[in-house]
């Protein structure tokens, strides 16, 4: 028997999020929640949904991996010539969402997007496994290709070319940073009366507010 989607429900009882235990700024709270997610979550804690919009105001959504977070923002990597890369560089605003199932938590982040420095992109690129580095060259991301064989042949060609030397970072591949203007923390609570604390950047200061679930 197929499950009835309307009957799928879960009562959240794990934790709460109250103002007396929340900092005045959001970045330390994110770091704390992320550290807990790394320890507890059964899947990749740095997996996130990233939303962008194209020139026709059509939104696009996909899953990526976060690769850095500090006071400057949240960093991820992509092919700048891919659909995602073009959208984010042409319309430099985005939103990302983390969902940590085991902790019954969600974090939403909205803000502006910028390229990270060439030096930062180089450093991360050269820290990756060699197969991933070659993959950045082999894949014309988002373009139509005839078959998987196209990718495999290109990868084999690159493996032969760089058998004796490290591949350089492609100019079309690198990092982007989402500079947060809004960060919302969601903690599941019983009876769907969830906790939501919103931090909005106003005049370079974070304004914390509680939102109704």
What lies within 8 Å, CB to CB, of 150 at 6+ separation is none
The percent helix, strand, coil of the chain (3-state, each to 5) is 30, 35, 35
Q: In the annotation, is 9 catalytic?
A: no
Binding residues: 62-67, 77-78, 84, 106, 124, 128, 132, 141-142, 186, 192-194, 196
The catalytic residue among 14, 161, 192, 210 is: 192
> Burial code of 86-98, b = ≥16 C-beta within 10 A, e = fewer?
bbbbeebebbbbb
Decide if 62 contacts 50 (C-beta within 8 A).
yes
CA distance linking residue 48 with residue 93, whole number of Å: 16
Binding residues for FMN: 62-67, 77-78, 84, 106, 141-142, 186, 196
Decide if 96 contacts 74 (C-beta within 8 A).
yes
Binding residues for substrate: 67, 124, 128, 132, 192-194
30: left (phi over 0), alpha (psi -120 to 50) or beta: alpha
Output phi, psi for 131, to 5 deg: -60, -40
State the catalytic residues: 192
């Amino acid at each position: 028997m197929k499950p009835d989607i309307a009957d799928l429900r879960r009562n959240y009882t794990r934790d709460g999020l109250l103002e007396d235990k929340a900092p005045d700024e959001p970045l330390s709270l994110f770091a704390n929640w992320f550290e807990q997610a790394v320890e507890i979550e059964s899947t990749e804690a740095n997996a996130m949904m990233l939303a962008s919009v194209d020139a026709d105001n059509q939104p696009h959504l996909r899953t990526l991996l976060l690769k850095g977070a500090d006071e400057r923002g949240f960093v991820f990597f992509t092919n700048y010539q891919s659909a995602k890369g073009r959208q984010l560089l042409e319309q430099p605003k985005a939103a990302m969402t983390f969902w940590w199932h085991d902790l019954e938590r969600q974090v939403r982040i909205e803000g502006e997007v910028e390229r990270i420095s060439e030096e930062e992109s180089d450093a991360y690129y050269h820290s990756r496994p060699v197969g991933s580095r070659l993959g950045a060259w082999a894949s014309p991301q988002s373009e139509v290709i005839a078959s998987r064989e196209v990718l495999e042949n290109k990868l084999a060609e690159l493996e032969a070319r760089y058998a004796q030397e490290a591949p350089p970072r492609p100019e079309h591949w690198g990092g982007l940073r989402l500079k947060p203007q809004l960060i919302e923390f969601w903690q599941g609570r019983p009876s769907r009366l969830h906790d939501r604390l919103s931090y909005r950047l106003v005049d370079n200061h974070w304004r914390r507010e509680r939102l109704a679930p």
